[in-house]
A and B are shown apart, each in its own frame.
Chain A
């Protein structure tokens, strides 16, 4: 591992200058480093009805082209190969009868759960909720049903911090979403087992506009596991997701996501926002484990004093996959705490970019946060760019970052071989060990096992590539 020098403290951090105003970028002119920004504030909701939001989003959708994101010459994420016109939303569902998609039953662990909601293509196909929890006031239903049955909650929270006009697919989500998931854990409820929210794409040709809203009432405690899964089909599909989670005073949530879009040509352009209220806490771990082209805007914001968060993340990109992650550790008020720790690996000719932004707004005094990114290259053609940035507008804070870039350590492989492990096993042990600090922190063995299993399968698939890399060095 080669340590990347750390830049500690607010003074140097302020110079990083990520958060200035958006700059129009022309194709071929890439010098403008400013590209990704925190949403950082009021969303599109703001008193508008759902119909008004949809109409506004539709107008934006019609006006915009499919986006190309560029960053300072060495990175671009382009949707120009996506044939959006050819995709169908299927808001009424594709399947006759109910029942969960095969990819869901195959992937999700057998375990006790508080509830589960499953959407395939554009329709919710399965909802279950522990009857005791339902009795106690927990709500788990499709977002469509929530607009009918819980209008007052939706009026207050829906799209509170999510925008609808930054790019065409965000607008498409806001205009065309169907099904959707709504979870409300009322004040004071403590739920041990996880709520599972599942989005599945079973065939090519689908545009899935996924919309999730989760509310954690004051001092509630619960777990949410989101799964984003697809069958291994041939052809294109799209998942454009918008996720929002609001934690009210003293609420605690452990949020995890397992995303693996399989071997089809699946595009995933999603925005996820988590807002941590007064003295609330969120532990968030997305694991991004596959997709033809994935762009994720992930924003964890402390919005009230005393909020604290642990923002974890795991990614593994293989073959020709393109992964673009923008993770924001946002502090709107202080005192607050943050701790961002991501780990990613790449095989084949995969390209992954991880940009981690610490943003501390004016007045967010007494904020202490740290960002670290560790990456491991498993193939000479794979590439991971890790870009930490810090934007600090308060003076009584600490914000710093660090990270490592590593390759397979031949010394460690020889060491393990000398104990009787064969080479593929030794490689697996190293890569699993690389991710293990984050997976064991999940404190949820069934979920950790799902991620471990997927990592092991990807390593097995990349075995020849990894061997070739080792012998070429």
Chain B
């Protein structure tokens, strides 16, 4: 059984079905890329995996380390070892990055983390992400640039050491330097800690820096193609439209029908 197992997942929001039967398996130590055009359901999948209250699972299941978490509270999923790097990280005024991290780490532990141990971990993460130490005393995401927000996401990921992380369009809005730092951070966490990752992206850019072993293409709420890294190159050459035609015009039609039916 895979660490993260998604079976026939159907998800709807505000009377619209967005995911229409997604199957996906992710293990620790594996890097997966999930690609798809806008509106294909990528972010819905990311948010659903962490239990966002606006998304309703109508069919299928999510299990993590053998436990069904389909109905679990978001913080329970996080404690079990799932992580979501947000596409649009939320600012939390009044709470410093360091204090927030300490709270999050302690939420997973019986005994609060020792000050010294926390500092050591934080120093390591700060170096990994190539940010200033002063960065961690700023209020979380408050007044951060786009690049700083994404670095803060990966910094949190490094500190919380999840088993499987979902990165929701972490590459969007990043300049090339920030993109490289973030991507190398993910790669190192994979290499050093055995992180499993689902990298969700619209583009191919980030996949030049993090090499996925598995590539999935999501269209209209279903995974329509799967393969290795060669799929990325093919997508780069041909684009989503070509692939859409190939996997069948019926897909888009089915969505339209589904919408009408809802």
Contact = CB atoms under 8 A, between A and B. Distances in A.
B104 interface: yes
A436 B99 CA distance: 13
B205 interface: no
Contacts of B103: 421, 425, 429
Given A433-B95, A436-B93, A418 B74 contact: yes
Contacts of B91: 412
A31 interface: no
B78 A420 contact: yes
Nearest to A439: B94
Interface string B73-105: 111011100011010011111110000100110
B160 interface: yes
Interface residues of B, number: 28
A432 interface: yes
Contacts of A349: none
Contact of A418 (B50, B108, B139): B50
Contact of B90 (A415, A423, A435, A437): A415
A423 B107 CA distance: 12
B74 A437 contact: no
Given A415-B86, A429-B103, A420 B160 contact: yes
Contacts of A433: 92-95, 139
Contact of B107 (A421, A432, A435): A421
B53 interface: yes
Contacts of B50: 414, 417-418
Contacts of A435: 94
Nearest to B157: A419
B156 interface: yes
A105 interface: no
Interface string B98-142: 001001100110000000000000000000000000000001000
Given A418-B78, A420-B107, A425-B107, A434 B89 contact: no
B234 interface: no
A411 interface: yes
Contact of B75 (A417, A432, A436): A417
B52 interface: yes
B74 A432 contact: no
Contacts of A65: none
A471 B111 CA distance: 32
Contact of A436 (B51, B84, B94, B156): B94
A430 B83 CA distance: 21
A358 B104 CA distance: 42
B75 A421 contact: yes
Interface in A374-426: 409-412, 414-423, 425
Size range of the interface on A? Answer: 20 to 34
Given A422-B107, A425-B107, A417 B93 contact: no
A434 B92 CA distance: 9
A94 B104 CA distance: 50
A433 B96 CA distance: 9
A419 B104 contact: yes
Contact of A422 (B75, B84, B90): B75
Given A433-B95, A436-B95, A417 B73 contact: yes
A416 B86 CA distance: 11
A414 B53 contact: yes
B78 A415 contact: no
Contacts of A436: 93-95
Nearest to B84: A418
A22 B78 CA distance: 59
Contact of A434 (B51, B53, B93, B156): B93
A415 B75 CA distance: 10
A410 B53 contact: yes
The winner among B74, B77, B78 for most chain A CB atoms within 10 A is B74
Given A414-B52, A425-B107, A420 B75 contact: yes
Contacts of A432: 94-95
A150 to B, nearest CB: 43
B202 to A, nearest CB: 21
A415 B89 CA distance: 8
A382 B173 CA distance: 39
A27 to B, nearest CB: 43
A430 B92 contact: yes
Given A414-B52, A416-B92, 8 more contacts: A412-B90, A418-B50, A420-B108, A421-B103, A429-B95, A432-B95, A434-B93, A435-B94
8 contacts: A417-B50, A417-B51, A421-B104, A422-B75, A430-B92, A433-B92, A434-B94, A437-B94
Interface of A: 409-412, 414-423, 425, 429-430, 432-437
Interface of B: 50-53, 73-75, 77-79, 83-84, 86, 89-95, 100, 103-104, 107-108, 139, 156, 160
